[in-house]
Structure 1
Amino acid sequence: MKIFQCGNCKTSIYFENVECDNCGHLTGYRAEDRKMLTFDFANDTLISDREGIEYKFCKNKEYSVCNWVLEKDSPEEFCSACQLNRTIPKLADADNFENWTHMEIAKHRLIYQLQKIGLSLPNKMDNDDIGLCFDFVSNKSNPKLMTGHANGVVTILIREGNSVLREKARKQLKEPYRTLVGHLRHEVGHYFWDRLIRDNPDTLAEYRTIFGNESQDYGKALETYYKTETPKDWQKEFISQYATSHPWEDWAETWAHYLHIMDMVETGYFFKISVNSIADNDDFKTSISFDPYTIENFDKIVENCVPLSFAVNSMNRAMGIPDIYPFVISPVIIEKLRFIHKLLLTKRN
């Protein structure tokens, strides 16, 4: 994520800020050029500090889950991120409301990243064939309902917004990592497999060479995965144990980690982070001087991500907190990540 600044006092502000903590000016994110606009709170209308143009907040601002803005005369009531919501939970339930708030924070960060890559995000309500939408739902009345993706519909169980329940699920499934943004990145990976690979013969052939043949029975593959032990050396070829279950899941897990890595390195770039270990080992030294979304050579991104994640993991361990990125990136996994990077280069803005 990039660093944003208040247009009035130049203080750094977070992506989710609704006002500047220093001067009190209102803040609103404009998706078209990924800029944070600021507005004098003393005005009756949202006139941007820098441009003098009038805006309005996304309708979901009233629930304190969105700070994105649209031009005043826009016919849309919701921003490009909130337009993708097909179903939200009943907000009269306090738990639902809190969990949905956490969901929206993660989803807006996801949409920021997908838009920066240059991926089109038509909403399914207007374009059923290729559109995307999100259903944030409870499965209390239907226990069979699960988090997943099907034909452009990303379903996320609202309970995932509860950190206690999410941690419980992580332990039960023996996962090293389980976050909302991780869920969302994984599930949209399935959506983009349909969009970018399924109907492109050349790309599909290359995908099968790298990830395997996805035509094998998906249901049986998952059943086998849950009934048998994962091979002990799975880390040599897969980013997670779940990725071993089926080539579709390998793709979705690798896609999610590609987005993790790109976001980490982008953040490192905007903070001008340098890692200079006193150890006599150049593998743990870096100075991130580039925006990863502008780099064609994915190996350069990995070379900078490894020391960055090692340093941050070490800081977390110093505070008694689990590793922020507890994964091993092997040469085989790098090849998979490189395939995704190459595939997306043509989508860059």
Structure 2
Amino acid sequence: MNRSASALALMLILSACGKGEDKVAGKPAGDPLQVTAPAALVARLKIAPVTMTPVSETLRVAGQIDFDENRVARIGATVTGRVAAMQANVGQGVSRGSVLAQITSTELSSQQLVYVRARSSNDLNRRNVERARTLFAAGVISAAELQRRESEYQVSGAEMRAAADQLRLLGLSGAALGQLGARGTLHSVSQVSSTMAGVVVERHLAVGQVVQPSDQLFVVADLSKVWAVAQVPEQQARFVHTGQMVTLDIPALGDEKRSGRLVYVGQVVDPRTRTVLVRTELDNAGGQLKPSMLATMLVQSDATDRLTIPASAVVRENNADHVFVAQGSNRYTLRAVSVGEESKGRRPVLSGLAAGDQVVAEGAFHLNIERNRQAIEGQ
């Protein structure tokens, strides 16, 4: 009796399990990428087509503020000598012709002596020619003698002018040259003067130092205008050209932005960095921009017609961009897409969509929550 009751109970249990398995096996499996929006959610959704619109992409490249090389003077000595005094320090404003340093030079003294001798010889030969002309008129000397003395006078004049030119190359001013010819007093001090108005940004000498004409002693820069330079990767160089508007984000200035136009785009690629140099000019009357400041250059490309979708249509799922494509009857499918950077509220479509596709432009975030809820309930 007990055995019959146990067997009957076992058969009933097995029968019930078989019916449950058949029910699960018979349920159709749902697509986790599809969602049917309830009526309450449909009212919050806005559908928009994928359309062609003009897109202007923004290229972001790292750069920095630099000197305007057309407003920089690298100043050296004109003679070999020893630094006797300095009149300028780094950061000091100077005008054109301001004395920056003084150098004592035996080379300058020697060349002045050559000039004094050449000038004296020229004066002597000038007087000799005047006497020879008087004697020739009186028939005392021949024409050949007069010509010889005139030739000597011309040669000495050329030597004097050459010596004067050499002194000018050594930095002797015209006034000092005139005093040298009038008084014959030699000066062994050469002055290093600024060739432009600006600010002393570098100094490479000290009192007592021996310098050569090839040495760079001072760098003077006019900082009223500066350059902003950046290196554009060669793959993106086709998107930039002279005349394009650029915006500069300079961290040192806080939220203040600067703008300008590209005035130069390099014609060659740097083989080390595989980049192309670009630059723009900026006004710096206030002196806020300082060379070597870091900057991010935002280059606005020319607008071209491209497939775009509203930026609000994009949802992130599994670290990738997706959109919901409308299928009709309140059904939507989550589709992976590749999109570009946002511009004026729209994002260009790189792949995943075609013209005319209908996507959820507003409410995509809430629709994705509903999709996840339905997927969990389906499991």
Return the structure number with greater helix share.
1
Larger Rg belongs to: 2
The TM-score with structure 2 as length reference comes to 0.17
Return the structure number with greater strand share.
2
Q: Does 1 or 2 have the higher relative contact order (CA < 8 Å, sep 6+)?
A: 2
The TM-score with structure 1 as length reference comes to 0.18
